[in-house]
Amino acid sequence: MRRPVARKLSVLAVSAAVVSVGAAAPPGAGANPVEKVPVAVGYGGAVSSVDPDASAAGIEVLRRGGNAVDAAVATAAALGVTEPYSAGIGGGGYFVHYDAKSRAVHTLDGRETAPLTADSQLFVENGTAIPFAEAVSSGLSVGTPGTPATWQKALDKWGSRGLGTLLKPAERLARDGFVVDDTFRAQTAANETRFRYFPDTAELFLPNGSLPVVGSTFKNPDLARTYAELAKKGVGALYRGDIAEDIVDTVNHPPVDPASGWNARPGDLTAKDLDAYRVKSQAPTRTSYRGLGVYSMAPSSSGGTTVGEALNILERTDLSKASEVQYLHRYIEASRIAFADRGRWVGDPAFEDVPTKELLSQRYADSRECLIEDDAVLTSPVAPGDPRNPAACDASGTAAPTTYEGDSTTHLTVADKWGNVVSYTLTIEQTGGSGITVPGRGFILNNELTDFSFTPASPAVHDPNLPGPGKRPRSSMSPTIVLDQHGKPVVALGSPGGATIITTVLQTLTGFLDRGLPLVDAIAAPRASQRNQTTTELEPGLWNSPSKAKLAAIGHGFRQNPEIGAATGVQRLPNGKWLAAAETVRRGGGSAMVVRSAS
**At residue 57, what is the residue type?**
A
Handedness of CA 3, 536, 303, 366 (dihedral sign): negative
- What's the confidence (pLDDT) of residue 33? 64
Please name the residues in contact with 549: beta carbons below 8 A apart, sequence gap of 6 or more. Answer: none
Peptide bond preceding 381: is omega within 30 degrees of 0, i.e. cis? Answer: yes
Report the C-alpha gap between 327 and 200 in whole angstroms. 49
Output phi, psi for 400, to 5 deg: -135, 140
Q: Which of 357, 543, 426 is nearest to 96 (CA)?
A: 426
576 annotated as belonging to a binding site for a ligand: no
451 annotated as belonging to a binding site for a ligand: yes
Within 7-158, residue ranges assigned H as helices are: 52-63, 68-82, 132-136, 147-158
Convert 210-240 into a string of H (helix), E (strand) and C (coil): CCCCCCCEECCHHHHHHHHHHHHHCCHHHHC
Residue 67: Cβ-neighbour burial (10 angstroms; 0-12, 13-18, 19+): buried
Output phi, psi for 340, to 5 deg: -60, -40
Q: Residue 94 forms beta bridges with which residues?
A: 109, 425
Residues annotated as part of the active site = 409
DSSP 435-460: S-BPTTT--BPP-GGGGS-SS-S-TT
Please name the residues in contact with 86: beta carbons below 8 A apart, sequence gap of 6 or more. Answer: 50, 79, 408, 409, 410, 427, 428, 431, 496
Cβ distance 493 to 404 under 8 Å? no
Q: Residue 437 forms beta bridges with which residues?
A: 444
CATH number at 27-88+103-116+129-281+404-461+468-597: 3.60.20.40
How many CB atoms are closer than 10 A to CB 587?
23
Predicted TM-score (pTM) of this structure: 0.94
> E strands of 164-291, at which residues?
178-179, 217-218, 280-282, 285-289
Report the C-alpha gap between 345 and 361 in whole angstroms. 14
Report the C-alpha gap between 295 and 289 in whole angstroms. 11
DSSP 491-554: EEEE--STTHHHHHHHHHHHHHHTS---HHHHHHS--EE-SSSSSEEE-HHHHTSHHHHHHHHH
91 annotated as belonging to a binding site for a ligand: no
Cβ distance 115 to 442 under 8 Å? no
Instruction: Measure the CA angle with vertex 202, ends 201 and 207; round to 5°.
Output: 120
475 annotated as belonging to a binding site for a ligand: yes
Report the C-alpha gap between 352 and 298 in whole angstroms. 13
Report the C-alpha gap between 574 and 459 in whole angstroms. 54
Report the C-alpha gap between 4 and 289 in whole angstroms. 8
Q: Which of 30, 22, 88 is nearest to 55 (CA)?
A: 22
**At residue 491, what is the residue type?**
V
- What's the confidence (pLDDT) of residue 35? 82
Tens digit of each residue's pLDDT, the chain (599 residues)? 333 343 334 334 444 334 444 445 455 544 566 789 999 999 999 999 999 999 999 999 999 999 999 999 999 999 999 999 999 999 999 999 999 999 999 999 999 999 999 999 999 999 999 999 999 999 999 999 999 999 999 999 999 999 999 999 999 999 999 999 999 999 999 999 999 999 999 999 999 999 999 999 999 999 999 999 999 999 999 999 999 999 999 999 999 999 999 999 999 999 999 999 999 999 999 999 999 999 999 999 999 999 999 999 999 999 999 999 999 999 999 999 999 999 999 999 999 999 999 999 999 999 999 999 999 999 989 999 999 999 998 877 788 767 766 667 899 999 999 999 999 999 999 999 999 999 999 999 999 999 999 999 778 788 999 999 999 999 999 999 999 999 999 999 999 999 999 999 999 999 999 999 999 999 999 999 999 999 999 999 999 999 999 999 999 999 999 999 999 999 999 999 999 999 999 999 999 999 999 87
Q: Which of 556, 528, 502 is nearest to 379 (CA)?
A: 556
Q: Which of 424, 346, 30 is nearest to 217 (CA)?
A: 30
498 annotated as belonging to a binding site for a ligand: yes
Provide the CB-side half-sphere exposure for 473 (13 A, CA).
38
Report the C-alpha gap between 30 and 113 in whole angstroms. 38
Cβ distance 378 to 371 under 8 Å? yes
Instruction: Measure the CA angle with vertex 574, ends 571 and 575; round to 5°.
Output: 125
How many CB atoms are closer than 10 A to CB 271?
13
- Domain limits of the chain? 27-88+103-116+129-281+404-461+468-597
Biggest CA pair distance of the chain:
65
Measured in whole angstroms, the distance separating CA 224 from the mean position of its chain's CA atoms is 25
